[in-house]
Chains A and B, each alone.
Chain A
Amino acid sequence: MNNAVTLKGRTEGFQIILHASASFEEVVDQLKELTVQLKKDTQKGHELIFFVDTGNRLLSADEKKQISDIIEDEHFKISSYESDVISIEDAQKRAREARPKLEVRTVRSGQILEADGDLLLIGQVHPGGTVRATGSIFVIGELKGIAHAGFEGNENAIVLANFKYNAQVRIGGNVHVIENRDENLVQSEDIQFVYVNDLHIIEVGSLHYLKTIRPEIGKHSGGLF
């Protein structure tokens, strides 16, 4: 029988490698044996941390639970599951997020334009229209509707546009209404950007400070990481 499970020591704890060449049943069987042996060898009350490395295999939530049930008790804990592979779906999403999506169009009332990652829109967002991205949003044209950056909660995202019209900007869970009726808030003719500051308050910044405030923007390599 091939070795389906290997135990290795690491500075932070133990690494359990589940070999992808073995069937899941074999893995489960050998893991049970291993755990029994380990529990015998370990002093009572001694805490052990495990990192499970699944190699070229992706475990479903069900299978993860099976593994956890075998290993975990009050002293044995699994810290994380690691894998050398990702699902096609995840890979495609990462690839999409790695480069900004370019759209040339008008987003009309009631329409929603969505993007994974950053979005560059050349065109207009009419009142009642929505542009939404998990990353940042850059608008070249008139923004009069809603721009929602960091749609899945990324508060480091920004919205860059000319904010001289009534509009609404959302970043993560924060909402900011851009109102021109307010005479104190004279809108600039220039392109500005909106970001969430350290106090979790939305703020409008001049383009000069973009590099200081969000140095990571524009540094996407095009690779996965």
Chain B
Amino acid sequence: MGKAIVVTSGKGGVGKTTSTANIGTALALQSRKVCLVDMDIGLRNLDVILGLENRIIYDIIDVVEGRAKLHQAIIKDKRFNDQLFLLPAAQHADKNAINEEQMIELIGELKKDYDFVLIDCPAGIEQGFKNSIAAADDAILVTTPEISAIRDADRIIGLIEQTSIQQPKLIINRIRKSMMQKGEVMDIEEITRHLSVELLGIIFEDDEVVRSSNKGNPVVLDPDHVSSQGYRNIARRLLGDTVPLMSLKEEKQSFWKKLFGKKR
């Protein structure tokens, strides 16, 4: 029996979908069987980031309304040997096309076959959010160091605490090292203390995330980037490993490295 984890944030644009894709990929790289479920019905994105958009034949609403069997709607990511799968959202329906009971049944089915079921929650706290958390065992809360995202995260924690889900684990995304060091934004410890939840990991701001997402390849596939390392650490922590937090210190480039080192 696998575990269903919802990835949520409240605020939009903080990196829920990117985090879902990358954590799922990282877990698949660790030889776990993972199914990603896109719940952003009507504004789906997860398929795009994984580069699977044109493979969609049936979607979650087709399954719920009985037009397709669950296994028909699930898309296998060919880059991994039977490790990573996607259940795509519908694009021409809305969040009310599915309800909580149907979600519980669906995710229950998936948990039989997969080690991890990652649910990509839509922004907001309406029906889409309710559906996403209805069937989850655990929650991952994504925020950025911005005060607006932290406010919304706080509200989400409050909502999740009213359910049977364990306390959510926090990912602080898009950290700009220099700003945090100068104290222009709340630092990691402040955010964690303010929200008083367990910290699961931090991801540094990295242009490569956008670059690789645009190509349909999650950044975590290439281990050389800081963001990739962050997601890999998160996956290992989810599997129970103890991994130290990445350092905030900006690597000072030596004069000689500046002069000769810029080969990449």
Chain A residues engaging chain B, CB cutoff 8 angstroms: 109-112, 127-128, 130, 166-168, 175, 177-179, 181
The 8 A CB mask of B83-98 against A (1 = contact, 0 = none) is: 0000000011000000
Q: CA–CA, A112 to B91, complex, Å?
A: 10
Interface residues of B in 19-53 (CB under 8 A from A): 42, 44, 48, 51, 53
Q: Which chain A residue has the least Cβ–Cβ distance from B51?
A: A181
Pick from B48, B55, B56, B92: contact of A110, CB under 8 Å? B92
Task: Given A127-B48, A128-B44, decide whether A109 and B91 contact each other with a Cβ distance below 8 A.
Answer: yes
Q: Please, which residues of chain B bring their CB within 8 A of the CB of A128?
A: 44, 53, 91
Q: Please, which residues of chain A bring their CB within 8 A of the CB of B162?
A: none
Give the top 10 A-B pairs by smallest Cβ distance, nearest first. A110-B91, A166-B54, A128-B91, A168-B54, A110-B92, A175-B57, A177-B55, A177-B54, A127-B53, A167-B54
Question: What is the count of residue pairs linking A and B with beta-carbon distances less than 8 angstroms?
Answer: 26
Contact residues of B: prevailing secondary structure = loop
Chain B residues engaging chain A, CB cutoff 8 angstroms: 42, 44, 48, 51, 53-57, 91-92
Q: Which chain A residue has the least Cβ–Cβ distance from B94?
A: A110
Q: CA–CA, A127 to B106, complex, Å?
A: 27
Q: Please, which residues of chain B bring their CB within 8 A of the CB of A112?
A: 92
- Contact: B54 with A179, CB < 8 Å? yes
Q: Please, which residues of chain A bring their CB within 8 A of the CB of B91?
A: 109-110, 128
Q: CA–CA, A179 to B79, complex, Å?
A: 14
Minimum distance in angstroms from A146 CB to a CB of chain B: 8
Q: Please, which residues of chain B bring their CB within 8 A of the CB of A109?
A: 91
- Contact: A178 with B54, CB < 8 Å? yes
Question: In this complex, which of B42, B48, B54 has the most chain A Cβ atoms within 10 angstroms of its Cβ?
Answer: B54
Q: Please, which residues of chain A bring their CB within 8 A of the CB of B44?
A: 128
Q: CA–CA, A130 to B91, complex, Å?
A: 10
Q: Please, which residues of chain A bring their CB within 8 A of the CB of B92?
A: 110-112, 130
Q: CA–CA, A177 to B78, complex, Å?
A: 13
Q: Which chain B residue has the least Cβ–Cβ distance from A168?
A: B54
Q: Which chain B residue has the least Cβ–Cβ distance from A128?
A: B91
Q: CA–CA, A181 to B78, complex, Å?
A: 12
**Can you sample 17 A-B contacts with CB below 8 Å?**
A110-B42, A110-B92, A111-B92, A127-B48, A127-B53, A128-B44, A166-B54, A167-B54, A168-B54, A168-B55, A168-B56, A168-B57, A175-B57, A177-B54, A177-B55, A179-B54, A181-B51
Q: CA–CA, A110 to B56, complex, Å?
A: 13
Q: Please, which residues of chain A bring their CB within 8 A of the CB of B48?
A: 127
Q: Please, which residues of chain A bring their CB within 8 A of the CB of B51?
A: 181
Q: CA–CA, A166 to B44, complex, Å?
A: 17
Q: Please, which residues of chain A bring their CB within 8 A of the CB of B57?
A: 168, 175
Q: Please, which residues of chain B bring their CB within 8 A of the CB of A178?
A: 54
